[in-house]
Structure 1
Amino acid sequence: MIAWHIVLRFLWINFFIMILFMVNLEASRPSIGHFNKENKKVFEFLADSMSNEGELLKGEGNVVLLTSDFYIVAHQATYNTQKKIIEVRGSVLVFKGETLYMKADKVRFELDEQYSILEPFYMHDAESGLWVSAQKAILERQQYNVQGSTLSACSLEMPIWSISFKEGTYNQEESWIRLWHARFFLFDYPVFYSPYFSFSTNRSRQSGFLFPKVGHSKDDGIIYHQPFYIAVDSQWDATVTSQYRQHRGFGGLAELRFSDHRNSVATLRAGYFRNQQSYQDTFDLANKASYGYQARYVRSGLFSEFFKLVKEDGLYIDWTELNDIEYLRIQKEGEGDVDIYDKLLTSRINYFLKGENNYVGIYSKYYIDLSLTNNDTTFQTLPTIQYHSHTSPLLWDKLSYSIDYKLHNYWRKEGYTTTQNELTIPISLTQPLLNDYIMLKLSTALYATYANHSNITPQLNDFLFFSNYYTFAVYSDLIKPYKSFNHSLHLETEYTLPGIKERKGDVVPSLQLPGDQNKVTFSVSQYFYSPSKLEPFLYHRVTQPFYRNHQYENIVGDFENELRWFLSENWSISSSIFYSFSKHRIAELSHDLSYQTPETSLYVGHFLRKKGMRYLENTYDLAEADFIHFAINKNLGYFGVFGSLGYDYKEHYFRTWNVGLQKSVRCFSYRVRLANEMRPILTTSGIQPQENRYILFELQFDPVGAVSIKL
C-alpha cells in the first residue's frame, strides 16, 4: 500500500527547493536601479552579464528594463550613468501590461528628460487595435513624433485601409493622433488626400468635428452635412450639424443630450432649413422654410425619493412641434427610416403620482396632421387631469368602492373648444362560488359629466349628463399542468344595464358616455406556458359584445380575435382581427411573422384599416390604410445581404424598397444600399408623393471614423 503522506511530503520539499533555486537564480543576475529626486525607483536594469567601461554600463543577454509603465526586453543595452541615457538594441519589445505595445531594433531613452529615440519604430495600441510603423520615432515626455510613417488597424501584412503621412504626432496622455500630408489608401490604391487630419484612439467622448456626410440627388444637387460634436461634461453633450444642398438651400440641426443623477437621458433637438425661391416654386412647396423642435425624456422617482407619502411617480415627455413634414424627413435622410405610414403625429407629456391610496395624473396630447398645411382646426387635449382613489373596502371586505375624477380640456385655435368634467364612483360586490371556481361580481356606477362649450357661433348649450348603470360579471380562472406545458384559462361574461339617465344641453362627438346602452360581452383568454419559463409561448383572446340601442334594436358588436404564438425560439407570429357584423366586413386587422437567429432575421407584416367600420369606436378620423412590409437580413459569411419593401394596396404602388450588401470585420465595415422611396412633401394643395431613388455608401474605418456618400 502506498504511503501517500510520504509522497506528498516529498513533493512539497522539492517544490520549496525549486522556488528557492529560482529566486536565487534571479537574484544572482546583475542589476542596477535608477532613482529620482524623491528617491523613488524610476527603472530597473537587468541582464545576464554586465561590464563597466568608465561611465558606461553595458548589459548583454536577456536584457530587461522595468519601469512604472513598461516592461522592455532586448539583446543588449548600454547605460550612461552620468548623462542618464540608456540605449537598447536587438529585437526590442516593449510591453504595456500584458500587451505588446511597440517593437524596434534600437531605442534611446533620456531618463531625466523623458526623451527617447526609436529606430525603426512599431507601436500597437491594444484598446483600439491601431498600429504605427516608421523608420524613426522620437518620444519626448508623453508625445511621439514620427516621420515617413504608416498607420492602420487592419492586418500588418495586407491592410484593407491604411494612412501614409509625412509627419505625425501621438499624445499618449490625450490619446490623440495628428497627421500632416496624409494619404488614405484602400489596399494599395490612394483614394483621398488631406493636408491635416486628426482623431482620437480611445472611445471616450471628445469635442471636435465628426466625419461629414456627402451625397448627391437629382433634385437637390450636391448634399453636404458637417456635424460638430461638443463634450464638455460627463453628464451632457451636444451635436451641431450644418447642412447644404446645392439646388435647394441650407440649414442646420442642433441636438443636446444630458443625463440626471439617476441616469435618465433627456434629448432636445431643434432644426431649421430654408429653401431657395426657385426650388419652392418648382415643387410648389407650402413653406419657404421648414423648422421644428423635439424633446424626449423619461424619468421615474422625481419626488418619491424625497417625500414618504409619494410611493411612486414618473414623467414621460415625447413632444414634437413642426411646421412641415420636411423637418422630419431631412434629418432622417439616409437612415433607413424613410417611410412615414401614419400621417397623424402625436406628442405626449404625462406625469403621474401614486400614493398609498390615491393616484394623480396629468396627461397632454398634441396632434399634428402631416397632410394639412396647418393644424388650426385639429383638436388638442391640453391637458387631462385625473384623480383616482384606489379600490377600498366599504363596510365589508367583499364590498368595495373607488372614485375617479377627470378634467379634459379639448382645445384648438379655430372652431369651438370644450372643457369636460367627469366623475365616476363604482361600488362593487365580489362573491366566490363553487369553492372559488366561479367569481360573481355585481357593481353599480354613479356617473356625472359637465361640458362647457366656447368659441362657437351659434352658441352651443353646455352639456350636463347624469346616470347610473349596473354591471353583472361572472368569470372563472382555471389552471391545469400537463407534461410539456401549463395551461391557464379565463372565461368571463359581463352584462351592462343602464339605469337612471338625465341629460341636458348639446353633446358633441368628442364626448363619450359610458353605460349608455345595454351591452353583453363574452370573452375568453388563455395562456400556454413552458414549465421552465415564465413567459407564455402562446396567448389567445377573443371578445364578442352585443348591444341593444335606444330604438330597442339588437346589434352584434365587433368581434375581436388576438393571437401571439412563439412557434419556436426563432419563429413567432401575431395576429389581431376586428370583424364588423353590422357592416359584414373586416374593420381592421394586422398580421406579423418574424424569424430571428444570430445569422438571419426575417419579418413580414400586413396592416388593414377601413374608415368608419368600427361600431361605437371613435375611429372615423383615422385614415384608411392597407399595406404590407417585408424585411430580411442574412449573413452569408463573406458578406451580408439585406432588403425591405413596403407596398400600399390602397394606392397600388411601392411606398419604399431597398436592397444592399454589408460586411463588418475588426477594422472595417461597409454598407451599400440601393433604395427607392415615395416621400411625402407638403405643397400648397396638401400632401403630394415624390419619388426619390438613390445609392448610399456607408464606410466605417475603425477607430478613425466613418464616411457616408449618397448618390
Structure 2
Amino acid sequence: MVFAEEGIKEFDRDNNRVFELFADNVDSIDYKIVIATGNAVMISQNIYVLADYIKYNTQTREAQINGNAKFYKDGNLYFSTQKANIKFDDNYSIVEPFYMQDSSSGVWISASMAKSKEKEYEFRDIVVSSCDIGDPIWRIEGTSGTYNQDNYVAGIWNPRIYIKDIPVFYFPYIFISTKNNRTTGFLYPEFTSSSLEGFVYIQPFFLALQDFWDMTFSPQIRTSRGYGLNTQLRFVDTYNELFEFNFGIFNNFKKYIRRNSVKNQTIYGFDFKHKRRNILSRFFKGYSDGIYLDFRFMNDLDYIRLQNAKNKDIENRIQTSKANFFGTKDDHYFGLYFKYFLDLQSPTNENTFHTIPQFQYHKFLEQTDIKNITYSVDVNTKSILRYKGFGYFDNSVRVPIYFSMPLLANYLTFGTSLNVNAGIITLNRTERLANLQGKNSTYFSTNYGFSLGSDIAKQYDKVFHSMSFKVDFSSKLYNYAEDKNHIFKPNEALIPEIRDSFGNNNIYSETQPSIQINFSQYFFGLENVELLYHRMYQNINLQDKENRFDSLRNEVGFSPISNISISNTFYYSYKNKSIEEVSLSISTTYGYFRGLLTYYLKRKFNNIDKKCSIYDNKTCVDTTANFLRVRLSHDFNYFALYGDIGYDFSKGYLRDWNLIISKDIRCFGIGLKFANEITPILTTSGTRAIVNRYVSLEFRFVPVTATALSYRFK
C-alpha cells in the first residue's frame, strides 16, 4: 500500500494495482481513514467511480460515497446515486437512491434504495422505463424487485404499468430482461375481449434451464368458449441446427358447440420443423446433402387460430407436411420426399392423396463427347396413397438430349432436342373399383423439337437495351401406351373415381405438333435501374383447328419515375375474343407515403354449345375472381395512418378491410385498429365462413413488450 499526495493505491501479491483513490483534496486520519473531496475518483478493478465525497477505511476496506456519484463499468455508465456504502471484501453495497441504465437498450431502473451482494441487487420502490427519466411516457412501478448482473434480468413485485400518470395494467409479478436474454419466468400476457369468445387471457411461461433448449407454456381461457394449452419446445443439436416442436389442445364448452355447430369439442394438433445440411458430407469427398422436416397434424383448423389472442389468419386450406432428404455428388442428385396433405375444408381427410414416399434421381446437364450435344436424366418413383379408396405407384423416366450451335456471328442460335419419356402406373387397393380392366398402365414416348433464337443488346447514351426472341417447334416422334383404364386419357364413360383422380393434366399426355414463341426486352437506366420490361408468350397448336391459338400471355412493367412502379399481366383468348385473365399492380413511394393497388380478374368461358356467344349470353362467362385491393400508409409525423381494403366485384361486397392509426415515439407506441375479416370455421356440415369485425388497441413498450386489447363484434 502506497500513500501519495493525491490519494492511495493498493497492490496485490503480484504487484498488480487493484485499488486507487485520488481527488482535489485528500486527508488521512491515523493512516486508517482516507477522505477524498472535490472530484473524487475511486478505481477498483473494472469499476470506475466519480463523486463529490469518498471516505475509505484501509483496514476494513469499506467506502462511503456521497454526492453525485457515478459508477462506470467497462467504459459505460453503470449506475448513479447520491449515497452508497461499499464493502469490498464482502462484495456488499447499499445505494440510496439508485439509478442504472443499459446503454444499448435504453432501459433504466431507479429505486429509493438498493442492496447488492456479489452480483445480485435488491430494490425498494422500483421504477423501470426506457423513456426520458424526467417525464417518462410509460413506466413500471413496483413495491420491490431484484436484478441479476450476470443475466441482466429484473424481477418486480406488484408492478403497475403507467402511461403518463394513468395506470393501465397490473400484474402480481413480472420479469424484465434489459438484454433480451433467454431467462426463465412469466412473459407478458395476451388478452382481449370478444362478443363471440368472451374475455380471452393467455399467460405464457418461458422455461430456459440450459443454453441449448427452451420451452414456452401458454395456458389460455376464453370465458365464452373454453380453455386450453399451447406448448412450444425449441432446442439446437450439436451442429447448431434448430428443432422446433409445437403442441396445442383446446376444449370447447358445450354451449359454444351448440351455438356455432362446431364439429369438435376438443381441438388438438402438433407441428415440428427442422433443417440441417451436410449430414454425411464428412464421410464422402465432394458430397453434400441436407434434410428438411416440416410436419403438422390437427383435427381442426382452429388449432392454428387458437395459438394467440388475435386468432391467427389461415391463408391455405390445404396444409402440407414435408420430409425431404437430398444428396448431391458431382453431377448427380438424389432426393427422397414425403408429403402429407391435410384438407382443412373437409370434415374428414380420408379421400386426400398423399405422397409416401417419392424417390428422385437427376443427372445434371452434361456435355457429351460430341461437341454441342448435352443431355440430362430424371427418374421419379412415387407411392400415392390415402386412407380410403385406391392408391397407385407412379414410375417415370425422362431423358432430354440437346444440340445447339451459333449462326451469323452469334446473332442467332439454332437448337434441336429429343425427349425420351417412359412410365408405368400400378393401381392398388382396387377392390371397390368396378369395370377395372387391369392394374397396370404403361407409356413410352419420344418427342423432338427445333428452336431458333436471338439475344442482342446495345448501350445508348443513358439507356441499356436488351432483346431476346425465340421460336420452338415440338412434336411427337413415337408414342406407345397400354392404357385400358384410360388413366393417361380419362374417358367420361369409364370409372369416374379414376377419371376424377387423374384429371386431364397428366405428364404422359401426347405431345401434339406446336410452336412456342417467346419475346422479351428490357431497358435499364443509370446505375442499372430497370426502366421497362416487356415479355410475350404464345403457343400455336398446329393440328387443333378449334383451339389453334392458346391464350396470349403478355407482361409489361415500367417505372415512369423513380418512385412509381407499374406491372401488368393479361391473357387474351383468341377463341372467345376476350381477355381471360388480367392482373395489375401499381406501387408508389414518396417520402413517408406508401401506396399499393392490385387488381385481379379471372374468367372461365363455358361456351361448349357452339350457339353460345359471350356477347349475347352472359351465362357463357363464369367470373371466378374479380378482386381489387388497395393499401395506403403515410407517416404524418404526429401519427401514422395505414389502410387496407379489398373489394370483390363478382359478389359485390367489401371482402375485408382494416384501418390502423399509429403513433411511435422512441420508447413508446400506440395503435388503434378497426378491421373486418372473413374467417372459415369447421362445422358439422363442413366449412362455414363467418364475418369477424373487431377493434384493437395496441400498446408498444419499447423495447420491453407489446400488448393489445381487442373487442370483436357480432
TM score, norm. by length of structure 2: 0.86
Instruction: Write the deviation string for residues 342-371 of structure 1: whole angstroms up to 9, x where unpaired.
Output: 544444444433322222233444333332
**459, 463, 477: which one aligns with 2:441:** 463
Instruction: Write the deviation string for residues 663-694 of structure 1: whole angstroms up to 9, x where unpaired.
Output: 22332222221212111111222221111222
**464, 472, 494: which one aligns with 1:494:** 472
**251, 260, 279: which one aligns with 1:274:** 251
Q: Following the alignment from structure 1 to structure 2, what is the Cα–Cα distance between the partners of residues 390 and 345?
A: 31
Q: SS of 1:206's equivalent?
A: coil
Q: Following the alignment from structure 1 to structure 2, what is the Cα–Cα distance between the partners of residues 564 and 345?
A: 33
Q: Following the alignment from structure 1 to structure 2, what is the Cα–Cα distance between the partners of residues 400 and 180?
A: 73
Is the contact made by 2:576 and 2:605 (CA closer than 8 Å) also made in structure 1? Answer: no
Q: Which amino acid aligns with 2:666?
A: R
Count the aligned residue pairs: 674
Q: Structure 1 residues 431 and 702 mapped into 2: Cα distance closer, same or farther (>3 Å)?
A: closer
- Which position in structure 1 is the counterpart of 2:285? 308
- Which position in structure 2 is the counterpart of 1:241? 218
Q: Following the alignment from structure 1 to structure 2, what is the Cα–Cα distance between the partners of residues 612 and 259?
A: 54
Within the alignment, does 1:607 sit opposite 2:600 as a pair?
A: yes
Q: Following the alignment from structure 1 to structure 2, what is the Cα–Cα distance between the partners of residues 627 and 339?
A: 19
Q: Following the alignment from structure 1 to structure 2, what is the Cα–Cα distance between the partners of residues 111 and 561?
A: 79
- Which position in structure 1 is the counterpart of 2:521? 526
Is the contact made by 2:190 and 2:308 (CA closer than 8 Å) also made in structure 1? Answer: no
Is the contact made by 2:474 and 2:511 (CA closer than 8 Å) also made in structure 1? Answer: no
Within the alignment, does 1:110 sit opposite 2:96 as a pair?
A: no
- Which position in structure 2 is the counterpart of 1:221? 198
- Which position in structure 1 is the counterpart of 2:299? 323
Deviates more, 1:637-646 or 1:137-146: 137-146
Q: CA deviation at 1:583?
A: 4.2
Within the alignment, does 1:154 sit opposite 2:131 as a pair?
A: yes
Q: Which amino acid aligns with 2:689?
A: P
Q: Structure 1 residues 603 and 338 mapped into 2: Cα distance closer, same or farther (>3 Å)?
A: farther
Q: CA deviation at 1:38?
A: 7.4
Within the alignment, does 1:31 sit opposite 2:24 as a pair?
A: no
Q: Structure 1 residues 426 and 168 mapped into 2: Cα distance closer, same or farther (>3 Å)?
A: closer
Q: Structure 1 residues 221 and 464 mapped into 2: Cα distance closer, same or farther (>3 Å)?
A: same
- Root-mean-square deviation (CA), in Å? 3.0
- Which position in structure 2 is the counterpart of 1:17? none
- Which position in structure 1 is the counterpart of 2:21? 45
**574, 581, 598: which one aligns with 2:574:** 581
Q: How does 1:155-194 map onto structure 2 within 5 Å?
A: 155-194=132-171
Q: SS of 1:532's equivalent?
A: helix
Q: Structure 1 residues 596 and 695 mapped into 2: Cα distance closer, same or farther (>3 Å)?
A: same
- Which position in structure 1 is the counterpart of 2:492? none
Is the contact made by 1:385 and 1:406 (CA closer than 8 Å) also made in structure 2? Answer: yes
Q: CA deviation at 1:299?
A: 4.0
Q: Which amino acid aligns with 2:252?
A: N
Deviates more, 1:41-50 or 1:357-366: 357-366
Q: Structure 1 residues 305 and 471 mapped into 2: Cα distance closer, same or farther (>3 Å)?
A: farther
Q: Following the alignment from structure 1 to structure 2, what is the Cα–Cα distance between the partners of residues 539 and 614?
A: 35
Q: Following the alignment from structure 2 to structure 1, what is the Cα–Cα distance between the partners of residues 356 and 583?
A: 31
Q: How does 1:438-517 map onto structure 2 within 5 Å?
A: 438-456=412-430, 457-458=433-434, 459-461=436-438, 462-505=440-483, 506-508=485-487, 509-510=502-503, 511-517=506-512
Within the alignment, does 1:414 sit opposite 2:388 as a pair?
A: yes
Within the alignment, does 1:130 sit opposite 2:107 as a pair?
A: yes
- Which position in structure 1 is the counterpart of 2:541? 547
Within the alignment, does 1:658 sit opposite 2:658 as a pair?
A: yes
**579, 587, 590: which one aligns with 1:594:** 587
Q: Which amino acid aligns with 2:521?
A: Q
Q: Following the alignment from structure 2 to structure 1, what is the Cα–Cα distance between the partners of residues 351 and 258?
A: 27
**396, 421, 440: which one aligns with 2:370:** 396
Is the contact made by 1:339 and 1:655 (CA closer than 8 Å) also made in structure 2? Answer: no
Q: Following the alignment from structure 1 to structure 2, what is the Cα–Cα distance between the partners of residues 306 and 662?
A: 56
Q: SS of 2:486's equivalent?
A: coil
Q: SS of 1:374's equivalent?
A: coil
Q: Structure 1 residues 254 and 167 mapped into 2: Cα distance closer, same or farther (>3 Å)?
A: closer
Within the alignment, does 1:100 sit opposite 2:87 as a pair?
A: no
Q: Which amino acid aligns with 1:32?
A: I
Is the contact made by 1:334 and 1:696 (CA closer than 8 Å) also made in structure 2? Answer: no
Q: Structure 1 stretches of 5 or more lacking a match?
A: 1-26, 616-621
Is the contact made by 1:362 and 1:386 (CA closer than 8 Å) also made in structure 2? Answer: yes
Is the contact made by 2:583 and 2:600 (CA closer than 8 Å) also made in structure 1? Answer: yes
Q: Following the alignment from structure 1 to structure 2, what is the Cα–Cα distance between the partners of residues 332 and 654?
A: 26
The runs of at least 4 consecutive aligned structure 1 residues that moved more than 6 Å come to: 612-615
- Which position in structure 1 is the counterpart of 2:616? none
Q: Following the alignment from structure 2 to structure 1, what is the Cα–Cα distance between the partners of residues 561 and 21?
A: 63
Deviates more, 1:462-471 or 1:291-300: 291-300
Q: CA deviation at 1:544?
A: 0.6
Q: Structure 1 residues 524 and 175 mapped into 2: Cα distance closer, same or farther (>3 Å)?
A: same
Q: CA deviation at 1:558?
A: 2.2
Q: Structure 1 residues 422 and 570 mapped into 2: Cα distance closer, same or farther (>3 Å)?
A: same
Query: Percentage identity across aligned positions?
Result: 31
Within the alignment, does 1:373 sit opposite 2:347 as a pair?
A: yes
Q: Which amino acid aligns with 2:269?
A: G
Q: How does 1:273-292 map onto structure 2 within 5 Å?
A: 273-292=250-269
Q: CA deviation at 1:567?
A: 5.0
Instruction: Write the deviation string for residues 411-445 of structure 1: whole angstroms up to 9, x where unpaired.
Output: 22223322222222233322221122111112222
Q: CA deviation at 1:531?
A: 5.5
Instruction: Write the deviation string for residues 581-636 of structure 1: whole angstroms up to 9, x where unpaired.
Output: 34444443332222346733322222333468899xxxxxx994433333233222
- Which position in structure 1 is the counterpart of 2:406? 432
Is the contact made by 2:219 and 2:230 (CA closer than 8 Å) also made in structure 1? Answer: yes
Q: CA deviation at 1:304?
A: 4.0
Q: CA deviation at 1:494?
A: 0.8
Q: Following the alignment from structure 1 to structure 2, what is the Cα–Cα distance between the partners of residues 596 and 307?
A: 51
